[in-house]
Structure 1
Amino acid sequence: MAIVKEKGMEIGSRDFRLDFPIRRVHCGMPMANGDLGVLIIGEGRRLEIVMCLASCWDHRNSQRFEKPCPYDELIAAWTPEDASPVSRRLIEASTPLNDFGGVSWRGTRVPGGRLVLHLGADLKHIRLAYGTGMVAVVTTAGEVHLGLTPGRNRLYVLDPCRLVTSTTAEPMWNRLSALFESVGYQPPTDKSGSGQVGWFQPCPEDPGTLAILRQTSYGYCLVAERSSDGDEQSLDGWEDWPAAQQSIASWWADFWRRQPTFIVPETFWNDFFLLALYKFGCATMPGGWAASLQGPWLEDYQRPPWSCDYHFNVNIQLIYTLAFATGNFQHALPLFDMLEQEEFQAVMRSNAKALFGIDDGLLLPHAVDDRGWQVGGMGAGATLDFVCGGWTAMLYWNYYRYSGDQEFLRRRAMPFMRGVMRVYQSALREHEGRLSLPVSISAEYGCSFKVRHNGRLVNQNTGRDPSYQLACMHVLANALLEGSELLGEAPDPFWRELKERLPHFTCIGEGAERRVAIWEGQDLDVCHRHHSHLAMVYPFDLSGELNEEEQAAVSAAIDLWILRGMGQWSEWCFPWAIQIQARRGFQESPMLLFRIWKEIFLNESLATAYLPRFQGFTAHRKDDMLKPKETHEVMQLDGTMAAATALLDLLIHERAGVAHLFAAIPKTWSEAEFRDVVFPGAFRISARRAGGKTVFCQVEAPQGGTLRICLEPGADIRTVTMKPGEQLRLV
């Protein structure tokens, strides 16, 4: 195994290369700064810059509650065989949808378009230099170089060989005019003229996209900004390449100095992990826009899938969890900043007020725009999934746990967690001598298929005490109790009551067949891509407080989960399953799942495609699999980031408060290594495995504290207490 430097990643001259032709948008070379997203494709002598602004939204037909919808009335309306009375009441209390001549339209991100460079030589390959963040386009007669500035939407195109013979602009209107005209859009204004090409695409009620590619002394510069009127006079920075070059190089050098090192024998995964870190840096750059389903990279050939919105029932959490073990805490701040905007907070409080009549609750729905308005409908599946707020609250909590920033805990994490818990507190009722959640969901179970009730198939996506919700409440209560103790604040007595009177999860079956249920009376009857009912394993680790009987129920549920198979899983389901298996002590199957995932869901440029690449293994969206990828491929960022997090989990993860090293790697991996991985308590851990044994482990404790660690599977748990700034070698 290679020996890595003592701290951080040594990136050196490592690069990522793709060969032309590259015809599909999501096979392109990615570049981004948290707002301007760029994918570079091309063939022959045509080089295309496919661009989009993460900040450009059409907010029309986003929804929120406009009148009260008391939760008690939803409880009264609920029947075990039909979810529609509950959803109907929720929809009736929401803002009405405008009619666009029969076209279903919701709030959505708006695609950008393409700037095309016509070259005097044939394209060969494209190369990303990780260390500098620069991209080189190699032709038969020389190279074109591209650099995107952090903090400013300026893409500099250096053409020292004068390879570019002409440029053209292709706004998204060229491919999607019929759709966008049908919902009230006007055609773009052509901004082409002397030495430049571009467009201004207005939005009906929001700022539009202004994109201009202008010739400069060194080549070209693409400037893209949101604009209300398309006025280009305020645009600048065209000739600022020397300063931009320094900014780009400095930002990426600093980024790579902070990254952990990950090395395993199958070198493909080392390369994938590196690319995932790069994409994470691009998509979540501090000072940029919060990353949504596709981050800043949105195609211009189809309507944005799921509005390219913020899916808070799993997807956004899968993207941002990578920030913590990698030490990229500040990359989570754009998400928290969005959630704490005045309008976003007002919407969440209004939701809580509408359902529960409280003023201090935060109810975060399932699929929202950048203001918190719902864009995925207002039914039960969207508004009664309180884990959307709960899992997001755990992002806040983990920011503190990994960084140790008590000021963040005091000012930002605790207020958000309290607001989410107030929703749960208001929803719980007395039932059979315990606390109970009368009506809620287990993420998307029954939303797109019928469930079995008393031997009949019925339309039902809600029930009493979903295990997903109960597990979330427990970890949220744990966080609030610990947080209040750390800050010297008095805890709310309800938090302790919840711990004492709420089950960890709901069960079904008797004796040896007793297992975790979806909700009361609902078994896992079908293959389901949301592993929500197993949330007490991950992401809401309760393993340290489950008794023997509960552990047996979890094991039985996992057996049934395996039996139901993977036939409906999508690209982000596999990493989540791997993380569950890793925490249950599975050593061989996690990497087997990774290898299957690689073949099914990674496209030619290692982007995670939502739709399987071929038929035969999973039937999820099987009709869409047959559609041409050139016009129907969907990329989602959650699969990439969840996979990178799961790869780290193979080498080090937390279980019941213990750092478990090399716990989920196959026996054939006698060697593996990681360095500078952050662990809760702000510890930084490095370790190396050789000859099937852990031969090196070093812990740094910038803030001091007590660490519990298991150096390899089957080893005893060691407890070490360290002083602030101490470094300790355990092996």
Structure 2
Amino acid sequence: MRVLLLFSIVIFPCFAIAQSVKKLNYDFPLPRPHMGLIIGNGTQGLMIWGENDVLSITIGQNGFWDHRGANELKNLTNFNDFKEIVHQKGKVGKLFGSPKSQGLHRQIGGGVLEIKFPQGYKLKRGVLDLHTATASIYLVGNDNKETVFTIRQLIKAASEFQLAWLDMPAHLKAVYTLQPSWNWIKKSLEPAGISAPKEWQTAKGVKGFTQTLPEDDPLNIAYKQEEGLLLVGSYLGKMNQSDFDKNLTANAIKNNLASTEKWWKDYWLSVPKINIPDPVIQEIADMGLYKQACVNPPHAKAAGLQGPFHEHHQLPPWGGDFHYNVNVEMIYEPSLASNRPNHFNPIWDLIHIALPKFRANGEKFYGRKNALLFPHATDDRGNLRGGFWAGIVDQGNVAWMATLAWRHYRYTLDKDLLAKTAWPLLEGAFETYYSILEEVDDKKGGKRFSLPVSVSPEYGGTSLENATGRDASFQLAALHSITTTLPKAAKILGKPLDSRWEDVSKRLPQYTTIDGIWMPEKGGAGIRIALWEGQDLEGSHRHHSHLAGIYPFSTIDPYDPVHYEVLTNTMHNFVFKGAGNWVGWSVPWTSAIWSRMGATNVGVKWLRYWADNYLNAGRGSLAFLSLPGVAVGADFRFNPKTKAYPWDRERNGRSMERMQMDASMGALSAVYELLVQNKKDDILDVLPAIPDGWRNFDFSGILTEGAFLVSATVKDGKTAVVKIKSTKGGLLKMKHNLGKSYKMNGKEIQKAASVLEYNTKAGEEVLLERI
């Protein structure tokens, strides 16, 4: 074994055996929760922040839902009525019910533990060790000497008691205060019938509170000092105070610390090792992998928009719910390339719970068996949040999740997952679309399929004048993704082919186009992709739906001459309309689109733009800009009280921050797109276009479709080595970008095709080297 290891080092020196320890530095003051160091296990989320002599730890708990107030769709009729009302510009909302007046129907924050240090001590800096999920906090005293302590957390299943701890030095006689979120959001909770939390203390020194809800499980948060440690615990559910005495102990840490350390060690050994020469992109990759472990691990409940990181001082934005028209997909997609596909398990569990509701409503609304009404926003039970009708009828919600489920199969070749999860979603998506398809004149003497009423997500809001149209390009791409996937899935599962799939594929347009001027100043004009029939991208818009055929659905090959002119004009128009109305997740999506177009240099630029404008000083990923002046998502209004514009931070003080995890995860996916792409016809493209300035770098262990682990080394700006490990066996089709002559497992290959096709065995490794 030693000989083999030595051999691998000699011939493949740039692959690190283990990733170096990643530590990120933070400088205090960090005056807001979303600026803080974060530690999470998918269930309990800690945001560590503060200034001067007070350190604050915001404690959130994924799953603390007030489920009351769900929209039960009691007024739901059918698609034909909906279509008629749309055409007549009537009131659509009444077709989709309305939420109950009582109940918040959202997740709620937990609380904050404030630690006031002795006089003379001041917070100086923090260090977050990504590999062990350890926060080190440095204080400086009057003597300018540093005092340091650490904050850690156990890995626990969602149903268990959650435990974190601080190893406080004995000489720091700090004062601790635990405050519930109630103290900040009382005005939102009281009208919804939620009572003040009960504060309590046990005989063994545990201090805490219990926040009850009218119909849902209560949240308990408590702390205790023991053996030089400050123990912090939380539990979602009914618990006796005596149970806290049993669970909130130093022994609980000692008994579970080894398993926690093993979990983090195994995690970092399993994920890709990425070593690139751009420090901004490197940190995006490192932090993305860390957040992935904190937000959506397999032992936790499914992650909503913020995972477990719910602030205490305001209600979690958008209810901390599940948005299926980009946000959930972004949060989970990088788990595949990260070689952590089991991170998908909680979201599939949620969808399995919700599927009967989606199917019952879909069959009623669309009038077809197995059709699904898969709304864009739900709680963790699949109940609809709100009444945004354009999101309720967005068939792309199920199509996008079905495509992700298929990719989950392609990355793992897990037939059980294909049968139990992907197939019902694929079939449901097709039946949903097929129920509304019309045949129209194709202007070539025949008939084509058309979607008479369709949405391009979030474009036009709820306005009937510009929120729907015929043949939305997003929906066409989504349906093509489904019709090309279904025959493959059916063949694997031994199911009969449905002639409708091929018929729709042949007679459905790839996208809708519009012609004319798009930039009057320079006479820019030509055919380009439209949002829907007659609807151009008139201005900057956050949701790049009309480009979904490029990414994520990959139904358009940018290198196919058929699309050259259309895509050229489309991308010129996209650039011209700009980023002024984008949000955080818009930017990594843009990066991935450009990388798919072969413009990885542009992809890199947009990732840097995201890091510069949509991360706050503490690396918190924001929905809106960290500073106004670049996009209109941030508030531009003059504040008469402070007599300041919003960019005058000194006079404005505390700013409103809305943090989401989708952009961070989307940025990680965008990094993978720079390195390896899964393209049509099951072709892997390794290092499709090396960004300028990236002269020497390497990566290893990126999982791809076909269950292949891909590694590569770049030397002097060229791909030097590509290594493939086949975990399940099967046909490898790879564009390796090594040129027409290279070595394959030591044997010279001359005048080779640009795409290597090779049948692999399970466990086999293939080594390609530039000659």
| 1:428 matches 2:437 | yes
Report the counterpart of residue 477 of structure 1 in structure 2. 483
Aligned equivalents of 1:428, 1:569: Cα separation in 2: 32
Kindly provide the CA deviation profile for residues 372-426 of structure 1, in whole angstroms up to 9, marking residues without a partner as x.
12213242x1211111111111121111111121221122221222122221122
| 1:561 matches 2:574 | yes
Once the two structures are TM-superposed, the CA of residue 271 in structure 1 deviates from its matched residue by 2.5
Aligned equivalents of 1:272, 1:549: Cα separation in 2: 35
Report the counterpart of residue 189 of structure 2 in structure 1. 180
Aligned match for 1:285, one of 288, 293, 297: 297
Report the counterpart of residue 316 of structure 2 in structure 1. 304
Aligned equivalents of 2:653, 2:349: Cα separation in 1: 35
Change (3 A) 1:641 1:629: farther
Aligned equivalents of 1:544, 1:592: Cα separation in 2: 23
Aligned equivalents of 1:714, 1:508: Cα separation in 2: 39
Once the two structures are TM-superposed, the CA of residue 648 in structure 1 deviates from its matched residue by 1.7
| 1:18 matches 2:26 | yes
Report the counterpart of residue 696 of structure 1 in structure 2. 721
Report the counterpart of residue 744 of structure 2 in structure 1. none
Report the counterpart of residue 663 of structure 2 in structure 1. 639
| 1:316 matches 2:316 | no
- What amino acid maps onto 1:134 in structure 2? T
Change (3 A) 1:400 1:464: same
Change (3 A) 1:386 1:208: same
Report the counterpart of residue 367 of structure 2 in structure 1. 357
Aligned equivalents of 2:423, 2:369: Cα separation in 1: 17
Aligned match for 1:216, one of 210, 221, 226: 226
Once the two structures are TM-superposed, the CA of residue 330 in structure 1 deviates from its matched residue by 0.7
**Equivalent residues in 2 for 1:244-259 (5 A)?**
244-259=256-271
**Equivalent residues in 2 for 1:485-564 (5 A)?**
485-509=491-515, 513-544=526-557, 548-564=561-577
- What amino acid maps onto 1:399 in structure 2? H
- What amino acid maps onto 2:411 in structure 1? Y
Q: SS of the residue aligned with 2:592?
A: helix
State whether residues 723 and 765 of structure 2, in contact with CA within 8 Å, keep that contact through their aligned partners in structure 1: yes
Q: TM-score, normalised by structure 1?
A: 0.92
Once the two structures are TM-superposed, the CA of residue 109 in structure 1 deviates from its matched residue by 0.8
Change (3 A) 1:270 1:629: farther
Q: SS of the residue aligned with 2:55?
A: strand
Once the two structures are TM-superposed, the CA of residue 460 in structure 1 deviates from its matched residue by 1.9
Change (3 A) 1:75 1:406: same
Q: Which runs of 5+ in 1 are unaligned?
A: 451-457
Q: SS of the residue aligned with 1:97?
A: coil
Aligned match for 2:148, one of 128, 143, 146: 143
Larger mean CA deviation between 646-655 and 325-334 belongs to 646-655
Change (3 A) 1:185 1:664: farther
- What amino acid maps onto 1:196 in structure 2? V
Change (3 A) 1:574 1:96: closer
State whether residues 149 and 244 of structure 1, in contact with CA within 8 Å, keep that contact through their aligned partners in structure 2: yes
Report the counterpart of residue 643 of structure 2 in structure 1. none
**Equivalent residues in 2 for 1:629-708 (5 A)?**
630-656=654-680, 657-708=682-733
Once the two structures are TM-superposed, the CA of residue 55 in structure 1 deviates from its matched residue by 0.7
Q: SS of the residue aligned with 1:31?
A: strand
Report the counterpart of residue 453 of structure 2 in structure 1. 439
Q: SS of the residue aligned with 1:415?
A: helix
Kindly provide the CA deviation profile for residues 204-255 of structure 1, in whole angstroms up to 9, marking residues without a partner as x.
2222211111222341222211235x63333442221112211210110010
Change (3 A) 1:472 1:725: same
Report the counterpart of residue 392 of structure 1 in structure 2. 401
Q: SS of the residue aligned with 2:174?
A: strand
State whether residues 139 and 147 of structure 2, in contact with CA within 8 Å, keep that contact through their aligned partners in structure 1: yes
| 1:269 matches 2:271 | no
Report the counterpart of residue 624 of structure 2 in structure 1. 611
Aligned match for 1:76, one of 62, 71, 84: 84
Aligned equivalents of 2:379, 2:27: Cα separation in 1: 36
Report the counterpart of residue 115 of structure 2 in structure 1. 117
Change (3 A) 1:223 1:574: same
Aligned equivalents of 1:494, 1:325: Cα separation in 2: 32
State the structure with more CA Rg. Answer: 2
Q: TM-score, normalised by structure 2?
A: 0.87
The alignment-based identity, stated in percent, is 28
Once the two structures are TM-superposed, the CA of residue 161 in structure 1 deviates from its matched residue by 3.2
Once the two structures are TM-superposed, the CA of residue 8 in structure 1 deviates from its matched residue by 8.0
State whether residues 262 and 648 of structure 1, in contact with CA within 8 Å, keep that contact through their aligned partners in structure 2: no
Once the two structures are TM-superposed, the CA of residue 547 in structure 1 deviates from its matched residue by 6.0
**Equivalent residues in 2 for 1:227-246 (5 A)?**
227-228=237-238, 231-235=240-244, 236-239=246-249, 240-246=252-258
Change (3 A) 1:312 1:193: same
Q: SS of the residue aligned with 1:190?
A: strand
Kindly provide the CA deviation profile for residues 266-288 of structure 1, in whole angstroms up to 9, marking residues without a partner as x.
22321231121111101111121
- What amino acid maps onto 2:488 in structure 1? E
Change (3 A) 1:232 1:630: farther
Change (3 A) 1:162 1:591: same
State whether residues 542 and 586 of structure 2, in contact with CA within 8 Å, keep that contact through their aligned partners in structure 1: yes
State whether residues 375 and 393 of structure 2, in contact with CA within 8 Å, keep that contact through their aligned partners in structure 1: yes
**Equivalent residues in 2 for 1:35-184 (5 A)?**
35-79=43-87, 82=89, 85=90, 88-89=91-92, 91-99=93-101, 106-120=104-118, 121-140=121-140, 142-151=147-156, 152=160, 153-161=162-170, 163-184=172-193
Q: SS of the residue aligned with 2:731?
A: strand
- Give RMSD over aligned pairs: 2.5
Once the two structures are TM-superposed, the CA of residue 145 in structure 1 deviates from its matched residue by 2.4
Aligned residues: 708
Q: Which runs of 5+ in 2 are unaligned?
A: 1-8, 141-145, 442-446, 518-524, 638-645, 741-752
Kindly provide the CA deviation profile for residues 68-90 of structure 1, in whole angstroms up to 9, marking residues without a partner as x.
4111112222228x4xx2xx34x
State whether residues 35 and 616 of structure 2, in contact with CA within 8 Å, keep that contact through their aligned partners in structure 1: yes
| 1:374 matches 2:412 | no
